[in-house]
Structure 1
Amino acid sequence: MKTDITRRAALLAGGAAALLPFRPAFAAYPERAVTLSVSFPPGGATDILARLLAPPLSEALGKPVVIENRGGAGANIGIGYVARAAGDGYTLLVTSSAFVVNPSLYRNPPYDPFRDFAPISTLGASPNVLAVKPNSGIASLQDLIAQAKASPDKFNYASPGIGTTPHLAGELLKLRAGFEMQHVPFSGAGPATQAALAGTTQVISAAQGSIMAQLRSGELRAIVQTGPTRAVDLPDVPTQEELGIKDANSETFLALFAPAATPAPIQELLAREVVKALQRPEVQQRYREAGAPVVGGGPEELRARVAREVPIWREVIQVSKISVQ
């Protein structure tokens, strides 16, 4: 009798449970700390922007948001790590334009930008800038092209390194405008800037934020910027498109991605809260000071950006025969 009663109680309990509303495993997300895995070492622009995002995002989610740096191999180590992470919303990727460049730059990248990730939002973006010393005799892009055509084997430009977006922006400009200049890669924006200041190279191609101090001081003069519109901090510097160079727009962008298997409701929650965090005036000010004004366009903007840029950089890398291996 006791066994029969126990069985009946269990059946009733099971039936009652069936009437309760279904709660998926992610309904209470987040239940613990969320990690922003940055694909570069501490101290760089990507790391700085991630750390600026973490406090307001933590406040919105009600859980800690911690930064974890996984730099190396041109960002491939960090990107590949998140590509293999669980799609539970607790490990997210903060990376740069390397995300859209590396699949064409490296022979065996550890990820597929379309298959392995869900876009959450672009965080910030900086145009690339071509700049010269004020006494260079180059006052415009037309002057630069004329000098380069006069001495194509000697005229050169500095960049922060092979495969960086400033390097690729220089190659894209050459391709679209039909002229030649020699690329001189350096190990970062600092050494490239010093070379331009010393006159070792005639031109530097750099992300706006990395040379903004020299532009403000007058040590360097920007002659063209590569973004689709004029940057707020460079209102007098024309874009390439304004000067008749079509299909050459480029930016160095920073963005947030989740592993592709992340449930859609978690993706939507993250996108909503990230975009709201980026709309805060203090966050926008700090991003602008860091040289990468807020974009915050959400998943569709970032998805379109990736779809647009992957084939552009593939073309540039193949035509220019760029390789890091």
Structure 2
Amino acid sequence: MRSRRAFLRRAGLVLGATAVCGLGMRGAKAAGYPERPIRIIVPFAPAGPTDIMARVLATHLGEALPGTVVVENRPGAGGNIGIGIAAHADADGHTLLITSSAYVVNPGLYSKIPYDPYKDFAPVAELGTSPNVILVDPGLRINSIADLIARAKANPNELNYASPGIGTTPHLSGELFKLVCGVNLTHVPFSGAGPAIQAILSHTTQVAFAALPPAHPHIEAGALKALAVTGPHRWFDLPDVPTMVELGYKDFLSDTFQGFLAPARTPPAIIEVLADKSIQILKTPKISEQLRNDGFEVLANGPAGMKKRIEDEVPKWRDIIAKAGIQPV
């Protein structure tokens, strides 16, 4: 027994010294994990903010565990298809979920969803958040929110806007924009942020409401014009893009978060390993800077932070959806 304990102590020290993000002795609690490739389900199309975050994390988790970590995109039904698949997967740590704010919005938006947000998942980590951004095709010669409002009022049926899907926070931002600004824009939902961005780039839509990460490189390249962000402050490398709050819309705050979850009943030792590894990865200066440059505010909070966000935001969005008069589908 003594020799076994000594071996485990030595194994923990080796893991802590050699892994990209070591866990020391805590790694011994999940000995043998992973036993096969880990699948991270992203319930949206590729190239959106959740997909970007998942691929960064998967690359470094594969190095840190070590093992193979793959991202599987399962878009559809506003994220419900992929979330439902993850909810009913084996609770052994080999099928995981990285999702967005849709996880907490969908319970208020759909009359029936394939998961219970409180019971079907074990929180792993609160990864990051991004402001939403209001985008226009530069060819429209719309240079401000005031210009967009004026154009929409002068031509009530002209403009349509892309979003990553019904019930996403960009969609709800678009509907809020219509309400508070008194304009009509036709909503065109897509299966994720990547397709929504492509729609405005290809001139299929004239306007888009999107999370910042997939839009950021196109804003910098001048292919898209950002009129405003919906966070509490201007984004650090887009200093000329105002917030909606600055423009006089004091309650116009909306972001898109990314959360890491595992099916309920996943062994606590595995949850602990995944949480600690993820947090250490996100706090690595090079990775944190990369994500910030991609449009993310890194949060890197553990299971308690993710659990609190779920508990706070499910009722919050349910109330906002009801007040906006959006009927569950």
Moved more, 26-35 or 106-115: 26-35
Provide, for residues 233-283 of structure 1, a one-character-per-residue CA deviation record: whole Å limited to 9, x for no partner.
322212222333233322222220123333445434432221111112332
Shift of 1:52: 2.0
TM-score with structure 1 length normalisation?
Answer: 0.76
1:237-316 correspondence runs (5 A):
237-288=241-292, 290-316=294-320
TM-score with structure 2 length normalisation?
Answer: 0.75
2:21 paired residue number: none
CA contact (8 A) 1:36 1:50 kept: no
The 1:190–1:115 alpha-carbon spacing in structure 2 relative to 1, beyond 3 Å, is: closer
2:81 paired residue number: 77
Choose which of 175, 183, 206 in structure 2 pairs with 1:171. Answer: 175
1:40-55 correspondence runs (5 A):
40=43, 43-45=46-48, 46-55=50-59
Is 1:211 aligned to 2:212, yes or no?
Answer: no
CA contact (8 A) 1:278 1:284 kept: yes
Quick one: which amino acid aligns to residue 127 of structure 2?
L
1:114-129 correspondence runs (5 A):
114-129=118-133
Shift of 1:194: 5.6
Is 1:183 aligned to 2:186, yes or no?
Answer: yes
The 1:231–1:122 alpha-carbon spacing in structure 2 relative to 1, beyond 3 Å, is: farther
Quick one: which amino acid aligns to residue 179 of structure 1?
G
CA contact (8 A) 1:38 1:47 kept: no
Quick one: which amino acid aligns to residue 210 of structure 2?
A
The 1:148–1:304 alpha-carbon spacing in structure 2 relative to 1, beyond 3 Å, is: farther
- Looking at structure 2, the residues matched to 156 and 290 of structure 1 have their Cα atoms a distance apart, in angstroms, of 26
CA contact (8 A) 1:172 1:316 kept: no
Q: CA RMSD in A?
A: 3.4
- Looking at structure 2, the residues matched to 68 and 194 of structure 1 have their Cα atoms a distance apart, in angstroms, of 21
Moved more, 72-81 or 111-120: 72-81
Unmatched runs of 5 consecutive residues or more in structure 1: 1-15, 21-25
1:80-119 correspondence runs (5 A):
80-119=84-123
2:326 paired residue number: 321
Provide, for residues 204-248 of structure 1, a one-character-per-residue CA deviation record: whole Å limited to 9, x for no partner.
212222222331232332111012332233222122223332333
1:31 paired residue number: 32
Shift of 1:167: 1.5
Quick one: which amino acid aligns to residue 32 of structure 2?
E
CA contact (8 A) 1:38 1:68 kept: yes
Aligned residues: 300
The percentage of counterpart residues that share the same residue type is: 46
Quick one: which amino acid aligns to residue 211 of structure 1?
A
